[in-house]
Amino acid sequence: MPTTHARISAVQSELFPKFHHVSAYEIGPISRSWLERIGDWLHGRLVRRFVRWNSESMAFLVSQLPIMFGAVAAMVRLGGFEALLKRPQSLEELAETLHVDAHSLLHILRPLAAMHFIDRDVHDIYSIGPLGREYTSQGRQPFAAWVELVDRIQVPVMSQLPDAIRAGEPLTRYVYHKTCWEVMAEHPGTCELHDLACGRWTELCVDQVARCYDFSNVKTLIDIGGGRGAFLSAMLRAAPHVTGAVYDRQETHAAAGEMFCEKGVADRAEHLVGNFFEEVPAGRDLYTIKHVLHDWDDESVRKILSNIRRAMSAHSKLLIVEGSVDHDVAPGEIVRSLFDLHQYAATWGCSRTFDEFARLCAESGLHLQRVIPTRLIDPQILECVPA
């Protein structure tokens, strides 16, 4: 039996991990409050104990998760959550609003009410619940778009995941023999869903990420694969002395211009059209690439990073802004693990450890010199220099 002192030490090590030099790159301290650290620790302990004490119930619940997801996806695609957000309704009223059969609708309302996606009172009147609200236009994140995207693209092929694992290939490549971008282009509306989901998440996190980096020695920067320019706009707002550009496909050009005007940085921002697999514009002080590399396999990542390295001067730096599956460095193990599986199933890529990023950088002529943790589960900032 561990002593009281040993137990206290174990708790302290979980709450306040020691950060140090690992594999020649530095990992900085995570700036997080006592409450945040204690909350993460308690959450992890509670989850582990709940699973241990209720393994049979948890096993049953997990076995039914595809059914639960189906109910949520159906409610999203039918517009049910939005309808209940507007006003509480009876079963018959809701069925009429959604133009569906009332008896069939009841079968998805029951589990949704049990899980508090929706509420049902003693008079059988349904209203939006705390979970369901997150899948509406009032939600803090674009969960409805993610649900519909997964339902359209991933759910139909998830039964082939064991075969993909045996073959040693990402699921999308194994099933479709195409990239996720090519697959989405063949399904009307999915590219728009993806842009909505990713765009909203980007807007939620970019300001916090931009505040974590010191831009005092930067005059010019370029965001590779920066899409509509949300991250570039956040960096330019954080550093008023900097001018910058987004480098991405032609399809994002108009939306980027609108974003620059909306965020008040149009006089310091531009959108350059190009393909980062072919070349990258040269001559910038700082290069950034956010949430791009996790979409690609190692060979593709080396190609992207090598092109960036060729564009960099001896004094340029590269910021890779990505999540990581290093569970001992950042919080949110469950979320990050599931996101890693999502990347493996949906793209040709995956989430990577910091050591894997360091190896890919070294193979591309770069040196990962430090990791700058953010207050977010995803992403972290990896600062690279020419090797």
Q: Which CATH class is domain 194-386?
A: alpha beta
Identify the pLDDT of residue 345. Answer: 79
Average pLDDT over residues 332-357: 79
**CA-based nearest residue to 287, from 364, 355, 384:** 384
What letter represents residue 65's amino acid?
A: L
User: Per this entry, what is the length of the chain?
Assistant: 387
Torsion of CA 43, 45, 47, 52, to 10 degrees: -170
Residues of the chain with CATH 3.40.50.150: 194-386
Q: Which residue has the tokens 């004490």?
A: 53
Alpha helices in the chain (DSSP H): 4-15, 34-53, 55-63, 65-78, 80-86, 91-98, 102-114, 130-133, 143-153, 161-167, 171-176, 180-185, 190-211, 230-238, 253-263, 298-311, 333-346, 354-362
Q: Please, what is the average pLDDT of the chain?
A: 84
Q: Does position 34 have pLDDT exceeding 60, yes or no?
A: no
Residues of the chain with CATH 1.10.10.10: 64-133
Q: Does position 157 have pLDDT exceeding 90, yes or no?
A: no
Higher pLDDT, 130 or 207: 130
Q: Does position 261 have pLDDT exceeding 50, yes or no?
A: yes
Q: Which of 195-209, 290-304, 368-382 has the lowest mean pLDDT?
A: 195-209
Predicted TM-score (pTM) of the model is 0.72
Q: Does position 288 have pLDDT exceeding 90, yes or no?
A: yes
CATH architecture of 64-133: Orthogonal Bundle (1.10)
> What is the CA 210 to chain-centroid distance, rounded?
17
Question: What's the rounded Cα separation, in Å, for the pair 266 and 268?
Answer: 5
Q: Residue 368: which H helix or E strand, with range?
A: strand 366-372
